[in-house]
Structure 1
Amino acid sequence: MSNHHDEVQAVIALMTDEEKIDFVSGHGLWRTAAIPRLGIPSIVMTDGTYGVRYSMTQIDSGSDPEAALAAFQAVVNRRADDGGPGMFGDTHPATCFPNGNLLGCSWDVALAEKLGQALAAECRALGVDLLLGPGINIRRTPLAGRAYEYYSEDPVVSGDLAAGLIRGLQGAGVGASLKHFACNNSEIDRTNMSSDVDERALREIYLAGFERVIAKSDPWTVMSAYNPLNGVQSAENHWLLTEVLRGEWGYSGVVISDWHAIKDRPAAVHAGTDLDMPESGPRKARLSAALEAGELDREALDRSCRNVLSLVRRLSGLRVPAAPVDLVRHHALARRMAAESIVLLKNDDAALPLKSLAGKRILVVGDGAIRPTIQGSGSATTNPFRVDVPLDEIRALAAGAIIDFMPFAKDGVGDLEKQTADVVVAARGADAVVLFANHRTGAEGEGTDRSDIRLADGQDALIEAVASTNARSIVALTMPDAVTMPWIEKVDAVLACFYPGQGGGAALAQVLFGRVNPSGKLSTTLPLRIQDIPGFHTYPGENGHHTYSESIFAGYRYYDLRAMEPLFPFGHGLSYTDFAYTDLYVDTDTVAPGVSVKLQFSLCNMGKVFGQEVVQVYVRPIEPGLKRPVRELKAFSKHALAPGEAATVDIELLPRDFQYFDTATGRWTLRAKAFAVEVAASSRDIRLSRILPCESEPIPVPRIATTSSPAAVFSHPKAEAALKSFFVKRLNLDGDEAQGLLDGTRKSFLGFYDTLSWSIGESIPEPELAALFDALDEEEP
């Protein structure tokens, strides 16, 4: 390691100041700057961790300074449903895998790792060294425009899936960029609106997933967010990027800015941002001016150069000759991922799977069946090399059935009443109706939050009308995140497909006809109405500040705290079979500092078909030291079982899983009367539980001052004895008199010295008492 460091340092010493400034700045939109005289090549990066987006004009030809910003804006503002040659005309075809909103529902770390390997193969075929993702921001609100890119409202799900993807990607020689660090939870005025988050919420919710990923997969780069965090631009936040990321977590990779996210370039260098992307003449000029004026720490600039050079050497050393990619195999993987992630939300009277099809009439309704929305909009949008059309896939699998199709606008335009009436007439002659429903297209994506969580105009009324017929009603939902379902009690079955990627059509057909048993579970809570969203009353912020008013009670934690019924809870997902959880064994009788807790239980497939079950382990604190969520997810695993097959499940809970972050001491702390360890099928479906007493860490000795209340002073274990001795000596009292003086202060709510002065006046100057308290504070506890 030292030899590598010395070699890198020697190269940095040969760079001119101009070369250093160029080197820590992008070259065009998607490259780093090369320094040919020093043998330093450029590396290529591009977007997409559900598909590789490679623009020939922007990467191969580069962008001149005048065109760069326009090209960047065109990328960000693209809409997935726009279609036409302008959408993907300059972009290589690639596999569009399920978006983060659906992949999160797989709860399958091994599947995420396979995705990383596939993405790496497509990157290497195109000469891409660094893929800009995955994004793991918490899905704090379903209104967030980029929610579709992210996995979950919980950092355990987000962190473990992202770590799997990164291991797959980097294990195949392509770098990852973990993003967006931190608290990118809204697109409204996203480069100026400060995400104001208290430290407990930051540590326990919003930073926890990033910390988890770094520990489990060591991403080679981390990308800072657009938004300020607690008033400081994320790319210029020294506490975030240096004190926490590098100092506390030990991260040694490269910090990259989001594109044009830096406002004060010298401040970003000092904070720990190594690479400014993309190229910006004005920002390079500001950096050069700061260096010349002595306002830029030269060592900080050299540190960034060392970090970037180490990355460039690592990535360029991993390059191999481009090889063809088996896109057909990747399409099969995209289908599998979607099929194993789709969530069966409701299935009354075994409405699904559709079977005994001979002579049955199935009506398919909605434009989504012929023009599916497979992905979200913005910089992550992928040019799919093929797309499964749901109606075609349904017809291919519905042997013996009669399949009819009726259009219905997925954009909420046209004569919706007539369209509904026509569908109802056709539904009356059908045995089953599969309705394709969606949130309003083009109403969300990068740069644009949603204003509501309703389906497109007319679709709620259509579903209600079809549900009133005698046909079996099945709703297939395409959505970036939660939608309201006012018709939920009237329909027979609901499938949440989110954004399923190019293989979504075949995946849905396989689930509908039982070729695949659905095993997805919700990685976010679905609310009954928009007003139930945690933090809704402070969304989207005012006067440049967005307060995260729900604090640590994000997602399901909020619904549990308020004992509020959601539409569907976090972790929920049905199957075509049933699973039994039995025989919970815990290897310890207590939760103690620094000790792991190992669980073992049996999981059995009690039904007649193969299935996969996601088991979830929650920790519920009993009488905790500070207010905590009712329960929190701490571990999960997914298990495939044949009919009648049982498996022994082993899960280990680490010491951190029982702790909370104590802002008074600035550390993770174990304190509670006891913990319930809960094995569950969802956050509202606890199957097994064991209560373990807790050996809490000692409470830190409080610091006291003359203005502290008597109650606070007497909470210090040595204060009462020290004060009694002090009064005996200083006031010439006997022991009983000194004790009486102390007892006379106990019930006061005033500061201790003010209370004492009522009895003795100013016979003891306040500085003398302050010196006594300071001495107590300095003693070892």
Structure 2
Amino acid sequence: MSWNVSDKQLNALVAEMTVEEKVAAVSGHGLWRTAANYRLNIPELLMTDGTYGVRYSIDQIDGMQDGDGQLAAFLGVVNTDLSTGVESAFGSTRPATCFPNGSSLACSWDVGLAYDLGQALAAECQAFGVNILLGPGINIRRTPLAGRSYEYYSEDPVLSGEIAAAVINGLQQNGVGASLKHFACNNSEVQRTTMSSVVDERALREIYLAGFERAIRKGNPWTVMSSYNRLNDVQAAENHWLLTEVLRDEWGYDGVVVSDWHGIKDRPASINAGNDLDMPESGARKQDLIDAVKDGRVPMEALDRSCLRVLKLVRTARNAIRPNAEADFNKHHALSRRMAAESIVLLKNEMAILPLDAAKVGKIAVVGAAAAEPVIQGSGCATTRPTEVDIPLDEIRRLAPGATVSFHAVADFEAGSASEQSALAAIDAADVVLFFGNTEVGYDGEGSDRTHLDLHAGQDELIGRLGKRNGRIVVILFAPDAVAMPWIDSVQAVVAAFFGGQGVGKAIADVLFGRQNPCGKLTVTFPVQMEDIPGYLSYPGENGRHVYSEGLHVGYRHYDKRKLAPLFPFGFGLSYSTFEYSNIATSADRIDGSGTIRITFDITNTGSVAGKEIVQLYARPHSPRLMRPIRELKGFAMVELQPGETKRVEVTVESSDLRYYDPAYRQWLLDAGQIDFEIGASSRDIRLEKTVMVDAPALPSTILDVESQPFLVLERDFARRRFRDFLKAQLDLDDEEAAKMMEYCASSFLGIYKTVSWVAGEKISKATMAAFLDGLNKEIGRQSARQHDVMTAPFEADRTR
């Protein structure tokens, strides 16, 4: 079962392989396995889907490994209307725990809980004989319309990366490999295999790649999965810049890059780019690679390198197998309940209608099919057949045994129907109405984006109508991401459960009746209307290109910059407790480019019940060189407090997390100057702040080159003098001639080199001008540094008093 081979032996195996055997080693066998090599005694690996549950299709995994049959089975998974049920989509699928989906789990902001998820998933994988689980998925939730947003964690890369790293560690420390996906910019399901995500380099690095880098640095996943889409017009699976220059050369990743299923269009190009493993099996793609190696289009070194990586993965995974492993599904169901409860977000609670007092609520009217058939997960390859499902309606009746609990479908309220008067009478008589709303089942998911932010047909209108009859309405939402709430002023409370997995029914009831104090907070911004979404004007793209027009300003960054009021801000969530923040301090008043700083503060539970508070740390630069978001998340912590209890909280920030990417310098930079650390209950509820000084080499606002307009050279006195002296020396000018030349340059709209050469001809070469400007850039930097020292002297004096 294990495969104990040394690095030397692995290299010898690669050397002994034929081209055909090497190509087989870097290709799938059937849908879910790597290829075994019986001649060389190389075992296979088994992988399957599951970002929040193990999807083990018996037909696909244990059936015949015929290529045509496997492809048909795969397409059946991704194309089936999942509203008809899990079994119809997957045939005979082994039951496994359906944990809260990514958009739900992340609302806990709890990396420990994320680790527990990874650990539980690993136990079920070990029991099923699965070596690699294809997750977690951490693409940025750029738009709430995105079909797979339910799989992903957040609109912010720091939170996404931290949660993903914890899941990865939970999996891999228990012997099952992770596959961090989808690399990169798989943010929409519209024409997902052909659409090009067109993203400027700053946004790409600071937003869309940053979460991947963080998860890789802290979790080191055994595999990274390349995405279906094109990135800046190059197929992601064939993108050398992405897969080699960034992932391997810059980040130092040494694991296996695996394609998304049939995500490779040009197999030779993909292996040259650094995409090692082609999944699933394709005879045509294997032959293309064999031909490319034999005619020299793919160097043997590239094939050998990928082959060795795959063999190392096989060794790691096989040696991590735990024979006779068993999964405790009862324990995992309890974990699913706990995860759901910790992730539920209380969005509104007027007049403290929640928690309900079971002893005082005589009549409860429950409305909506989702109360009896909860929407526990999204649709697509990640869908899990649950081992059991808690039903919200049953759990409500269990916790309120003395109450009369009536149940009504949305159709019962159809105007003029036989059931309308009876249903409305129940609403009028109810002490509280619990409305279970949901988005369209089976539409949002893999292969299709949502087309609106509304609830399923008729629900928004009905909530508003019922709110006029009985103001004591609590709305419980099952949704993959943000929804609009045109009825928000008609209800007293809103509870967001997202897709909370198989234990969400009990979790909801526990929150409604106060057995669980809600502590979840939003990991995305909820817009008032669809038109407020960042990038709305360029979504979903056209002519095969989707321009990410909002650039850096994704999610809360967009709403802050535009001073646009969201429905609910990023990081928002209510509690049955109240919390007071005080006494902020920092471990130092200055931070440099290689340091860390600790921000500490007090949190007090000023309420009457125990609760947890998720505190967020944001950084807000005072005078950035380049355009930057107003504030950005840099850390967070969860604090559990008894009534009246105070705890000292510490959040550590590395200086590297304060950097931004400058495409002109082609590197990550740190701005010198003042920066505020803000402590908030949400991105719009800042409670404390502290200013510190960042010590870093000061840089000019503009890098001068031969195409720079002359006014940029002349705007500083010392640069103007240097330029005048340069012209005098190069063109042999006297003072009067030099002054006229400077006056001419100052009025030119051409680049500096073209401006000078227009009247001076070739007396100054482009290379000479470039060398002069390079030297001027360095001197501007030194001048800026001296200016920075003068400006910060008062801050330093205040600090030492």
Amino acid at match of 2:399: L
Note closer, same or farther for the CA distance 1:706–1:407 as it changes in structure 2 (3 Å cut). Answer: closer
- Letter of the aligned partner of 1:656 in structure 2? S
1:765 lines up with 2:761 in the alignment: yes
Structure 1 pair 473/697, CA: closer, same or farther in 2 (3 Å)? same
Q: CA offset at residue 95 of structure 1?
A: 0.3
The question of whether the paired residues in 1 share the 8 Å contact of 2:619 and 2:633 is answered with yes
Question: In structure 2, what is the equivalent of residue 301 of structure 1?
Answer: 303
Give the match's secondary structure for 1:37.
Answer: coil
> Is the partner of 2:97 in helix, strand or coil?
coil
8 Å CA contact 1:46–1:131 kept in 2: the answer is yes
After TM superposition, give the deviation of residue 241 of structure 1 in Å: 0.2
Structure 1 residues 241, 731: CA separation in 2 closer, same or farther (over 3 Å shift)?
closer
- Cross-structure match for 1:749: 749
How many residue pairs match? The answer is 773
1:281 corresponds to? 283
What is the one-letter code of the residue matched to 1:205? I
Is 1:366 the equivalent of 2:357? no
Name the structure 1 match of 2:531: 531
Residue 709 in structure 1 maps to residue 744 in structure 2:
no
Q: Which residue of 1 aligns with 2:789?
A: none
Unaligned runs of 5+ in 2: 779-801
68, 91, 104: which one pairs with 1:102? 104
Q: 1:448 corresponds to which residue? A: 448
SS in 1 for 2:592: coil
Q: Closer, same or farther in 2 for the Cα pair 1:375/1:755, shift >3 Å? A: closer
Change (3 A) 1:353 1:703: closer
- Give the distance between the partners of 1:34 and 1:224, measured in 2 at CA: 23
1:81 CA drift (Å): 3.3
Assess if the C-alpha contact under 8 Å between 1:702 and 1:715 holds in 2: no
CA distance in structure 2 between the aligned counterparts of 1:328 and 1:726, rounded to whole angstroms: 80
Alpha-carbon contact 2:471-2:490 (below 8 Å) kept? no
How far off its partner does 1:282 sit?
Answer: 0.7
Shift of 1:536: 1.0
d(CA) in 2 for partners of 1:730 and 1:212?
Answer: 50
Rounded to whole Å, the distance in 1 between the matches of 2:11 and 2:554 is: 45
Matched, 1:439 2:413: no
Match of 1:238 in 2: 240
The aligned amino acid for 1:583 is: N
Does residue 1:606 correspond to 2:606, yes or no?
yes
Q: Deviations 1:342-385 (Å, cap 9, x if unpaired)?
A: 00000001010001524611111111111111100000000001
Whole-Å separation in 2 of the counterparts to 1:408 and 1:495: 19
Q: Do the aligned partners of 1:719 and 1:776 also contact (CA within 8 Å) in 2?
A: no
Output the amino acid matched with 1:437.
G
Counterpart contact for 1:25–1:275, Cα < 8 Å:
yes
What SS does structure 1 have at the residue aligned with 2:242?
helix
Q: How far apart, CA to CA, are the structure 2 residues paired with 1:240 and 1:471?
A: 54
- Look up the SS of the partner of 1:81 in the other structure: helix
Shift of 1:726: 4.5
Query: After the TM superposition, which residues 40-51 of structure 1 pair with which residues of structure 2 at under 5 Å, given as runs?
Result: 40-51=42-53
AA aligned opposite 1:206: Y
1:508 lines up with 2:508 in the alignment: yes
For the Cα contact (< 8 Å) 1:597–1:654, is it kept in 2? yes
CA distance in 2 between partners of 1:716 and 1:244 (Å): 37
**CA distance in 2: counterparts of 1:424 and 1:673, whole angstroms:** 63
Equivalent of 2:218, from 195, 216, 219? 216
TM-score normalised by L of structure 2:
0.93
**Alignment match, 1:427:** 427
Task: Give the stretch that moved more between structures: 49-58 or 727-736.
Answer: 727-736
Q: 1:684 to 1:416 in 2, by over 3 A?
A: farther
Deviation at 1:768, TM superposition (A): 2.0
Q: CA RMSD in A?
A: 2.2
Provide the C-alpha distance between the structure 1 equivalents of 2:361 and 2:201, rounded to a whole number of angstroms: 62
* Structure 1: runs of 5+ lacking an equivalent: none
Whether contact under 8 Å (1:193, 1:544) holds in the other structure is yes
Structure 1 stretch displaced more, 265-274 or 389-398: 389-398
Aligned letter for 2:318? S
1:78 shift after superposition = 3.7
Residue 522 (1) aligns with residue 518 (2): no
Aligned to 1:258: 260
Distance (whole Å) between structure 2 residues aligned to residue 717 and residue 386 of structure 1: 75
Deviation (angstroms), 1:90: 1.0
- Match of 1:6, SS state, is helix
1:291–1:460 CA distance, 2 compared to 1 (3 A): same
Counterpart-to-counterpart distance in 1, 2:384 and 2:707: 62
Q: 1:130 maps to which residue?
A: 132
Counterpart pick for 1:337 among 336, 339, 354 = 339
Match of residue 347, structure 1, among 325, 345, 349: 349
Moved more, 572-581 or 55-64: 55-64
1:695 deviation in Å? 3.7
Gap change, CA 1:665 and 1:512, over 3 Å in 2: same
CA distance in 2, matches of 1:56, 1:711: 70
Give the aligned partner of residue 775 of structure 1.
Answer: 771
Q: Tell me, what secondary structure is at the counterpart of 1:340?
A: helix
* CA–CA distance in structure 2, aligned partners of residues 609 and 631 of structure 1: 32
Please state if 1:661 is matched with 2:661.
Answer: yes
- Which amino acid in 2 is paired with 1:134? P
CA distance in 2 between partners of 1:76 and 1:65 (Å): 17
Q: Is the Cα–Cα contact under 8 Å of residues 617 and 680 in structure 1 kept in the other structure?
A: yes
1:36 is paired with a residue of what secondary structure? coil
Asked if the contact 2:753/2:766 (under 8 Å) is kept, the reply is no
Provide the residue aligned with 2:691 in structure 1: 691
**SS state at 1:195 partner:** strand
Asked if the contact 2:109–2:520 (Cα under 8 Å) also holds between the matched residues in 1, the reply is yes
Query: Is this contact kept in 1: 2:46–2:132, CA < 8 A?
Result: yes
Q: In structure 1, how many angstroms separate the alpha carbons of the residues matched to 2:691 and 2:472?
A: 44
- SS of the equivalent of 1:49 reads coil
Q: Structure 2 vs 1, CA of residues 361 and 301 (structure 1 numbering), >3 Å: closer, same or farther?
A: same
Deviation for aligned residue 1:756: 5.1
* Structure 2 residue 563 is matched with structure 1 residue 540: no
Determine what percentage of the aligned residue pairs are the same residue. Answer: 54
Mapping 1:151-190, distance limit 5 Å: 151-190=153-192
Q: Which amino acid aligns with 1:544?
A: G
Per the TM alignment, residue 514 of structure 1 is displaced from its structure 2 partner at its CA by 0.4
2:231 aligns to what? Answer: 229
Counterpart CA distance in 2 for 1:461 and 1:730 is 77
The residue aligned with 2:676 is 676
SS at match of 1:624: coil
1:80–1:733: structure 2 CA closer, same or farther, 3 Å change rule? closer
Q: CA deviation at 1:673?
A: 4.2
Distance (whole Å) between structure 2 residues aligned to residue 290 and residue 33 of structure 1: 20
**Residues 775 and 373 of structure 1: is their aligned pair in 2 closer, same or farther, counting only changes over 3 Å?**
closer
**Counterpart residue number, 1:81:** 83
Q: Alpha carbons of 1:358 and 1:728: their partners in 2 closer, same or farther (altered >3 Å)? A: closer
Work out whether residues 228 and 234 of structure 1, in 8 Å CA contact, stay in contact via their aligned partners in 2. Answer: yes
Deviates more, 1:157-166 or 1:580-589: 580-589
CA deviations over 1:27-58 (Å, ceiling 9, x no partner): 00000000122121001000002100111111
Instruction: Say whether 1:35 aligns with 2:37.
Output: yes
Distance 1:38 1:383, change over 3 A: same
Does the 8 A contact of 2:154 with 2:524 survive in 1? yes
Which letter maps to 1:462? Answer: L
Between the aligned partners of 2:716 and 2:701, the Cα distance in structure 1 is: 6
> Are the structure 2 counterparts of residues 420 and 312 from structure 1 closer, same or farther at C-alpha, using a change threshold of 3 Å?
farther
Distance (Å, rounded) in 2 between the aligned partners of 1:81 and 1:415: 26
Residue 406 of structure 1 deviates from its aligned partner by 1.6
- Residue 322 of structure 1 and its aligned partner are, at CA, apart by 2.6
Alpha-carbon displacement from aligned partner over 1:562-607 (angstroms, at most 9, x marks no partner) = 1111111111000000011110001222343333221000111111
Distance 1:755 1:39, change over 3 A: closer
Tell me, yes or no, if the aligned pair for 2:521 and 2:572 is still in contact at 8 Å: yes
Q: TM-score, normalised by structure 1?
A: 0.95
Q: Equivalent residue for 1:388?
A: 390
1:407 aligned partner: 409
The answer to whether 1:485 aligns with 2:491 is no
Q: 1:262 to 1:648 in 2, by over 3 A?
A: same
